[in-house]
Every structure is written in C-alpha cells, then in structure tokens.
C-alpha cells in the first residue's frame, strides 16, 4: 500500500511539471523588420571643391609662355628662355620670385610681344627693348627691308638669327685647355681647365643679369646678356667680381676660376641662343 502511494505521488509530480511547462509563456522573438516598407536612406555627400588651377593657366600652350616644371627656379627658367630672371618676375608680377609652383604658367617674353603677330624668335630680336650690349652688337643694323610687324614670320627669323652672329666679336673667356667639348645631351657648353684664381673674362660686351649661386650644378655663376638673342654663362667660379645689372666690356675680368659645385678647378662656359644651348666653339675665334 505504501509503495502504491509513493508511485502515485511521483506520477502526480511529473504531471504537474509537464503542465507547468506547457502553460509557460513562450520565449519572445526579435522583431522582424519589413525592409520593403522602410524608405531607402539618401546619402548626402559633401559638395566637391573646385579644382584649383595654377596661376596663369589661361595662357597654357601660348607662344611666349613657360610651364614651370619640378625643380625649376626663376634663374634657370631665365637661362632656358634667354631672359633675365628679374624681367620674368616683373612681367608676371611675382611678389616673391623665389616662390613659383609646378604647373604655373609664366610669361617669358615682354608684354608688348602680345600685339606682334610673329614668332617668339622674331619678337625677341625685334619687338621691344633697346639692345643691352654696347659696341658692335647692334641688332638695329640688321638689313631688314620691311617692318618686323608686317613681314612674313619666316623672313625675319633668318635676319634675327644671323645679325648677332655676324656682329658680336666673341673672345675666349679663358686661355686654358678645353677639358670637355659641347654635347647637347651631356654638356651644354665647354669645360675649360685652369688654376684657382685665374681670370675669367667677359666673352663680349653685355649686362650682368645674374651673379650668384642659386642654380644647382653651376656653383658661383655669372650670366651675361649680350643682346635680345644671346646669353653667356660662366660657372664654378671661386669668386664673382661683378653685380647684377652691371654693364661689362668684352675682355673685362668678371670672375676668378674655381671649383664650386665641380669636381675640379675649371670654367664651364655656355653660349645660349634664345635660351637654347649652342656649341661655343662655333662662335669663338680659332686659337
């Protein structure tokens, strides 16, 4: 009897547990979002800033303008274009000539050249300023039969190129031995040997458009402008004896030979025709 009671109580307990489980509240489920009823989000992006154009961008591609490249300096641009770096700074209203940016477009011919319907070479030879060089270099004596502004662009080019070559009486800037000749790709002039302190002479009458050490690879450098076509450069000097804007005469001592920014004592001498390096040996007298 006692065993049956115990079995009954056990079965009753199991039934109570089962009934409790069946009547308990089911576990809550996470709500399901009906994405079809939710409007799509609209991402609002910030307005795109306008692209900053370099100064002078409106003149890109025009004759008489130069696009600044990496590592360019105003002094180097002047040498490459046959102009004074001070003139370029003035023509472009540069407040700080030492601050130019890559991609900037610079005027490298006088402003009055805009009204002359000729090439840059003709403009440089005939359009504007009085020739700087004294003595025999007088581009105004060119045998031109018609005004440069009306003549065909091909005819004045030959006149402008020939006149300075005929009129400038070049001399050697040093009596030393030529160590390296002209090579348009590797050596833009002549390397002339010598000893430290040896005189460096002006190769022709002209005006000092640069005197300093601001052009990498040239050391202490002097650049002379002889007329509106020709420049000469004298590099690696030990000391400079002339200043910018100073007029010099052919044969005048302008520097002393040295080895600044060079592997030995030497004079690196360049002749630039409208900014382009040309072989000085073609202009200098034979020895």
Domain-located, residue 256: yes
Domain-located, residue 160: no
Q: Where are the alpha helices (DSSP H) in 50-153?
A: 74-81, 85-91, 120-122
In eight-state DSSP terms, residue 171 is: -
Task: Give the pair of three-digit tokens for residue 167.
Answer: 């009129």
Q: Based on the structure, what is the number of domains in the chain?
A: 2
Q: Where are the alpha helices (DSSP H) in 68-211?
A: 74-81, 85-91, 120-122, 154-167
Domain-located, residue 20: no
Do 142 and 169 form a contact (C-beta atoms < 8 A)?
A: no
Do 210 and 78 form a contact (C-beta atoms < 8 A)?
A: yes
Domain-located, residue 93: yes
Indicate whether 114 and 194 sit together in one domain. Answer: no
Domain-located, residue 13: no
List Cβ<8 Å contacts ≥24 apart for 20-27.
Answer: none
Indicate whether 276 and 197 sit together in one domain. Answer: yes
d(CA 84, CA 87): 5
Full domain range(s) for residue 61: 54-128
Query: Regarding beta strands 220-225 and 206-212, do their DSSP bridges make them parallel or antiparallel, or are they unpaired?
Result: antiparallel
What are the residues facing 187 on neighbouring strands?
183
DSSP letters for 5-54: HHHHHHHHHHHHHHHHHHHSPPPPPPPPP-GGGSPPP---PPPPPPPPPP
Domain-located, residue 276: yes
Is pTM beyond 0.75? Reply is no
Do 233 and 276 form a contact (C-beta atoms < 8 A)?
A: no
Q: What is the pLDDT along the chain (287 residues), one digit of tens a residue?
A: 455 545 555 555 555 545 455 555 555 555 555 555 555 565 666 666 677 888 888 888 889 999 999 999 999 999 999 999 999 999 999 988 889 999 999 999 988 744 443 334 333 443 333 333 333 333 333 344 444 433 333 333 333 445 545 578 999 999 999 999 999 889 999 999 999 999 999 999 999 999 999 999 999 999 999 998 999 999 999 999 999 999 999 999 999 999 999 999 999 999 999 999 999 999 999 98
Task: Give the pair of three-digit tokens for residue 272.
Answer: 């630039």
Angle of CA points 137, 143, 149, to nearest 5°: 100
Indicate whether 191 and 278 sit together in one domain. Answer: yes
Burial group, residue 254, by CB count within 10 angstroms (0-12, 13-18, 19+): buried
Q: State which H helix or E strand residue 192 sits in.
A: strand 190-193
CATH code, 258: 2.70.70.10
3-state helix, strand, coil in the chain (%, to 5): 25, 20, 50
Indicate whether 106 and 189 sit together in one domain. Answer: no
Indicate whether 209 and 267 sit together in one domain. Answer: yes
CATH code, 89: 3.10.350.10
pLDDT digits (tens, 9 = 90+) for 194-225: 999 999 999 999 999 999 999 999 999 999 99
């Amino acid at each position: 009897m006692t065993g049956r009671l115990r079995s009954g109580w056990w079965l009753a307990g199991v039934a109570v547990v089962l009934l409790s489980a069946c009547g308990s509240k089911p576990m809550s489920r996470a709500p399901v979002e009906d994405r079809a009823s939710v409007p799509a989000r609209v991402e609002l992006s910030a307005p795109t800033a306008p692209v900053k154009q370099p100064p002078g961008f409106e003149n890109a591609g025009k004759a008489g303008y130069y696009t600044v490249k990496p590592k360019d300096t105003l002094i180097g641009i002047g040498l490459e274009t046959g102009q004074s770096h001070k003139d370029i700074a003035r023509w472009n209203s540069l407040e700080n000539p030492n601050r130019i940016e890559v991609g900037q477009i610079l005027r490298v011919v006088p402003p009055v050249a805009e009204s002359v319907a000729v090439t840059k070479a003709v403009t440089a030879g005939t359009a504007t300023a009085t020739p700087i060089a004294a003595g025999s270099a007088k581009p105004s004596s060119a045998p031109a039969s018609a005004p440069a502004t009306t003549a065909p662009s091909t005819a004045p080019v030959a006149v402008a190129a020939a006149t300075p070559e005929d009129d400038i009486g070049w001399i050697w800037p040093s009596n030393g031995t030529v160590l390296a000749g002209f090579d348009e790709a590797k050596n833009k002039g002549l390397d002339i040997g010598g000893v430290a302190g040896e005189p460096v002479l002006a190769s022709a009458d002209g005006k000092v458009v640069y005197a300093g050490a601001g052009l990498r690879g040239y050391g202490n450098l002097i650049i002379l402008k002889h007329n509106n076509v020709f420049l000469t450069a004298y590099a690696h000097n030990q000391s400079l004896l002339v200043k910018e804007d100073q007029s010099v005469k052919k044969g005048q001592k302008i520097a002393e030979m040295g080895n600044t920014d060079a592997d030995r004592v030497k004079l690196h001498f360049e002749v630039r025709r409208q900014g382009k390096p040309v072989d000085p040996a073609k202009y200098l007298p034979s020895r």
